[in-house]
Amino acid sequence: MLWDIFCRVIDNYGDIGVSWRLCADMAARGEQVRLWVDDASALQWMAPGAAEGLWPGVHVLDWAPSGDKAVLATLPTADVWIETFGCEIAPAFIAHFAHATAERGTRQPVWINLEYLSAEPYVERSHGLLSPVMQGPAKGWHKFFFYPGFTELTGSLLREPGLMQEMALHADAKLRADFFTRIGVRPEAATQDERLVSLFCYEPPLLQALLDQLAVCDTPVHLLVTAGRATHAVQALWGQQTLRGSLRIDYLPALTQKEFDQLLWHCDINFVRGEDSVVRALWAGKPFVWHIYPQDDLAHAAKLEAFMQQMQWGQSVCHLHRAWNGLLPTGRQDPALLPLSKEALGQWQQEVQAARARLLKLDDLCSQLVQFALKNR
């Protein structure tokens, strides 16, 4: 099938990150995809070659011409339209293809609104619901709500075929060493002498407490800080210092999505943020802390609680997540120390891997989207 996938980049690359993974996964399964995006600049480092048309099966298009009649006249009608995260297709685009389908007597594309990821109860209730289009050139058509999630009554999570097998191969010591060398980290990081911790975050209130804790650990700690806001946040506290006590810091370059996934596979603990990276941390099967995207109305608090309940985490890990996100009750803003003992990390990893095992039993999101589109054509 031919898919039109629409993405507006708001901030922090989460929108384009999820949209690109979706496009690449679809193309790898033999689907043809047009990605309409208003800012493709992040693809230069996230998926090199994508914006230049070097990714088989995916054609990246500028959002602006999606309203240009001359451009649209050269394009075939897609079988499926996907609006990611509530972005709205250009009215001229809708009008052009609504007229084309009426003129040819063909069916409307399967029109899907791909929503944000959540573990909250409304997701199961809303997944797959139909919404009629009441006005405009596509009046009489309908679109569907499609919700990613963590249960069989949702659209599940993005997961490429063969992902777990690929991750198992990277347990090889040489591949591990080659990976760290490639991203500019000294080869010794590939040994088991240090505890490796990745940091991908916004500006968490507990960051200073974390750095202080890692600097006095019994075991040497190597903190790998991702480019962008995480680097700025750490350097705002420590300046250019990269070594204090038991803590060594390396600042990483911008990583491709594949390299970011591999970073999570190779670290002992992963701090992740937003929607895309928490899914990748789950598949990595290592202890992780999620910095959920903060919202002014504190809607993220309920979202985090629902997620932790779905994960079936113990009290200490839940307490750490609330503290890391600045969500402890008033009067209880005590630093929640990272559980670093061998026993605590072992228990935490078992909980993550148990959650992963449950999720691996579900069909992945791309498979479900294809099945859903074929059913509703």
Element (H, E) at 282: helix 274-284
Residues 79 and 114 in one domain: yes
Residues 77 and 174 in one domain: no
Q: Where are the beta strands (DSSP E) in the chain?
A: 2-7, 32-37, 58-62, 80-84, 110-114, 130-132, 142-146, 195-199, 221-225, 243-244, 247-251, 269-273, 288-291
Residues 76 and 213 in one domain: no
φ and ψ of 358, to 5 deg: -65, -40
Answer for the pair 200, 273: CB distance below 8 angstroms, yes or no: yes
Tens of pLDDT along the chain (377 residues)?
Answer: 999 999 999 877 889 999 999 999 999 999 999 999 999 999 999 999 998 989 999 999 999 887 788 889 899 999 999 999 989 999 999 999 999 998 888 999 999 999 999 999 999 999 999 999 999 899 999 999 999 999 999 999 999 999 999 999 998 888 988 999 999 998 666 566 789 999 999 999 899 999 999 999 988 999 999 999 999 999 999 999 999 999 999 999 999 999 999 999 999 999 999 999 999 999 999 999 999 988 888 889 999 999 999 999 999 899 999 999 999 876 555 666 888 888 989 999 999 999 999 999 999 999 999 999 999 99
Give the model's pLDDT for residue 70. Answer: 86
Question: Which residue numbers are catalytic?
Answer: 15, 275
- What SS3 class is residue 367? helix
Answer for the pair 153, 315: CB distance below 8 angstroms, yes or no: no
Residues 311 and 259 in one domain: yes
Give the model's pLDDT for residue 62. Answer: 93
Give the model's pLDDT for residue 66. Answer: 76
In single-letter form, the type of residue at position 336 comes to A
How far is 244 from 287, CA to CA, in rounded Å?
24
Answer for the pair 294, 202: CB distance below 8 angstroms, yes or no: yes
Which is nearest to 58 in space by CA: 47, 70, 45, 72?
Answer: 47
- What SS3 class is residue 303? helix
Residues 318 and 367 in one domain: no
Residues 369 and 313 in one domain: no
Residues 320 and 225 in one domain: yes
How far is 220 from 196, CA to CA, in rounded Å?
9
Residues 187 and 240 in one domain: yes
How far is 18 from 123, CA to CA, in rounded Å?
18
Q: How many helices (H) and strands (E) does the chain have?
A: 15, 13
Residues 118 and 188 in one domain: no
Answer for the pair 15, 21: CB distance below 8 angstroms, yes or no: no
Give the model's pLDDT for residue 35. Answer: 97
Strand 142-146 versus strand 130-132 pairing type: antiparallel
How far is 196 from 271, CA to CA, in rounded Å?
11
Residues 130 and 178 in one domain: no
Task: Report residue 320 CA to chain centroid gap.
Answer: 21
Domain with 94, as residue range(s), is 2-157+363-376
Q: Indicate which CATH number applies to the domain containing 45.
A: 3.40.50
pTM score above 0.85: yes
> For the chain, how many structural domains are there in total?
2
Go through 54-71 and write b for each residue having 16 or more CB atoms within 10 A of its CB, e for each that does not.
ebeebbbbebebbbeeeb
Residues 128 and 199 in one domain: no
Which is nearest to 283 in space by CA: 174, 370, 159, 368?
Answer: 159
Which is nearest to 266 in space by CA: 367, 194, 160?
Answer: 194
Answer for the pair 209, 215: CB distance below 8 angstroms, yes or no: no
Residues 141 and 13 in one domain: yes
In single-letter form, the type of residue at position 287 comes to P
